[in-house]
Each structure stands twice: as structure tokens, then as C-alpha cells.
Amino acid sequence: MRKKASEAKPGEKFETKTNVARYQPIYYAGASGDFNPIHIDSEFAKMVGLGRAILHGMCTMAFTARTHVDWAGGDPAALKKIKVRFSKPVYPDDEITTSAAVTSVEGSRVRTEFAAKNQDGVEVITRAWAEIELD
């Protein structure tokens, strides 16, 4: 059920955890058409200093977007804007925790600020915000 704007309060916090599948970069490459070898070839990723293949930034952002969509009641159309800063790479088998807080409610528009960390507490997305349109 879609959340009502009257139910959202500044200071309200919410979070989700997402486990990055081992083959997530390959799945995302197929869906997006982005076959950059840093995402699908661990040997190439090592060669350029990444250690191993990394997840696409846009896939990581999609995980944070889903956090907001789920909080809003499951309707993807509720998410109107999202902005993130990718600060560190995400790897297959990481667990990403997205933590968000409502910063303002103006009419039916809710603004949040959020960040995402990996299982080691390293921020992988920082200085991020979203706007959600609620009923």
C-alpha cells in the first residue's frame, strides 16, 4: 500500500540491506549493455588496480532507489529524483546497507538524505538525496 504524505515525518529513518549476487555485474551488463571489462573481467580489473571486478555504479544506485520505493509503498513512480556520489567500489558478494532519513515534507513531496555502506562500514554512496511523491 502506498504511503501517505501525512505519515512521513522529518527525522524518520529507514534502511535496507541488499546482498550483491556473485554474478550481479554480469547480469547488469547484459541488461544495460555496459560490458566495460572492469565489471565483468576480474583479471582486467586487477590489472587496472581495482582488485577484482566491480559492480556498475548505476546498479548500486538502483539498490538505493529500491530502498526508497519500498519505503514509499512499492510504487516506482513515487521516486521523482535521486542524486548520489559514488565514493568507493562495490564488489560481488558485498552486503550493502542503505540508510535514509526524511529531511523535509512539503505537501506531498518528501525529501530524504541517505548513504550506503558495505559490510565493513565503508561508505560506497555519500552525499545522496531523493525526492518522493506520496499520496
Q: Is the pLDDT score of 111 beyond 90? A: yes
Domain regions of the chain by residue span: 5-20+56-133
Tell me: the pLDDT tens digits for 53-94?
999 999 999 999 999 999 999 999 999 999 999 999 999 999
Active site residue 39: yes
Tell me: the pLDDT tens digits for 17-48?
999 999 999 999 999 999 999 999 999 999 99
Beta-bridge partners for 79: 132
Active site residue 33: no
**Of 40, 54, 96, 132, which residue is the catalytic one?**
54
**Of 11, 38, 41, 57, which residue is the catalytic one?**
57
Active site residue 57: yes
CATH of domain 5-20+56-133: 3.10.129.10
Q: Is the pLDDT score of 1 beyond 90? A: no
**Of 11, 26, 30, 39, which residue is the catalytic one?**
39
b (16+ CB within 10 A) / e for 105-133: beeeebbbebbbbbeeeeebbeebebbbb
